[in-house]
Amino acid sequence: MHLVKLGGSVITDKAKVTTLRRTNLVRLAGEIAASGQEVIVVHGAGSFGHIKARKHRLQEGYVDDAQLPAVSEVQRDVRTLNLAVVDALRRAGLRAISLPPSAIARLDDGALRSLDIDVFRRYRDLGFTPVTFGDVVLDARRWFAICSGDLLMLALAEAFRPEAAIFVADVDGVFTADPKRAKGAKLLPTVGPGTIGAIDTAAETDDVTGGLAGKLERMIAIAGFTERCQLVNGLKKGRLLAALRGQRVVGTRVTP
């Protein structure tokens, strides 16, 4: 079984609220289906979640009542994105089943306290393709909090010990510095706990789920539960498919 995380920036327009990058989404759904692999799909919220979440400081948990309509609104927006992902997977021939974290996950002070793993397992055993996503979720201490797609990847990797955990991003891999800003930035074919210090993560614009440094930490943790944890560029045709087939592909492997 493979875990695939479709990064929010690959399937949504980062800057425009609730705007899809539909061509990418449809192509990536096709690559997942073409691989013939059994897959659980996790997708980010992208501009369907981050923009309003940041505006209403949902990542801080409950601050005041004015946030409550925004919780309902952001959940609704990410469900719309999720329906588009489910539709793309269904059209590619997969039997996609949506499992929303706002209904099946609970956080405690921002950490994942519970996730109904059994529901993923049972749908998968029946030949369905479970799909989950970054969402606003109940939190025991903060009332609500953001449950990122990466947090879900970690919990699912721990539970399913997948053959591979593949992160689909809008860059070729992890670089020594931000490749969109620094000219001399070099792609790192592998990253692990020993090499993470060499990466300049300061330039990364932080999002509501923690930015590159937090992402790498989580990927290193995930690498402990799978033979292959890697990051590939979802804007380049065929890279996700090659990774799902276990072929050599441009990207970064993350080691535990």
Q: Measuring CA to CA, which residue among 113, 224, 208, 123 is closest to residue 165? A: 224
What are the start-end ranges of the H helices in 126-210? Answer: 149-160
Q: How far is the CB of 157 from a second copy (least distance, A)?
A: 20
Candidate list 126, 184, 197, 248; residue touching a second copy; CB under 8 A: 126
DSSP annotation of 254 reads E
Task: Enumerate residues 42-71 that contact a second copy by CB under 8 A.
Answer: 65, 68-69, 71
E strand spans, the chain: 2-6, 39-43, 96-98, 105-108, 111-115, 129-133, 135-139, 143-147, 164-169, 174-175, 187-188, 190-191, 228-233, 252-254
Nearer to a second copy, 34 or 119 (CB): 119
87 in contact with a second copy (CB under 8 A): yes
Phi, psi of 125, rounded to the nearest 5 degrees: -60, -25
Segment contacting a second copy by CB under 8 A, of 27-35, 125-133, 170-178, 233-241: 125-133
Segment contacting a second copy by CB under 8 A, of 42-50, 52-60, 101-109, 200-208: 101-109
Contacts with a second copy: how many residues (CB under 8 A)? Answer: 33
Rg of the chain on CA atoms, in Å: 17
Candidate list 1, 17, 34, 73; residue touching a second copy; CB under 8 A: 73
Nearer to a second copy, 62 or 193 (CB): 62
Nearer to a second copy, 96 or 151 (CB): 96
Cα 7 from Cα 194, distance rounded (Å)? 25
CA diameter of the chain:
51
33 in contact with a second copy (CB under 8 A): no
What residues make contact with a second copy under the rule CB under 8 A? 65, 68-69, 71-73, 75-76, 79-80, 83, 86-87, 90, 95-100, 102-104, 116, 119, 122-123, 126-128, 138, 143-144
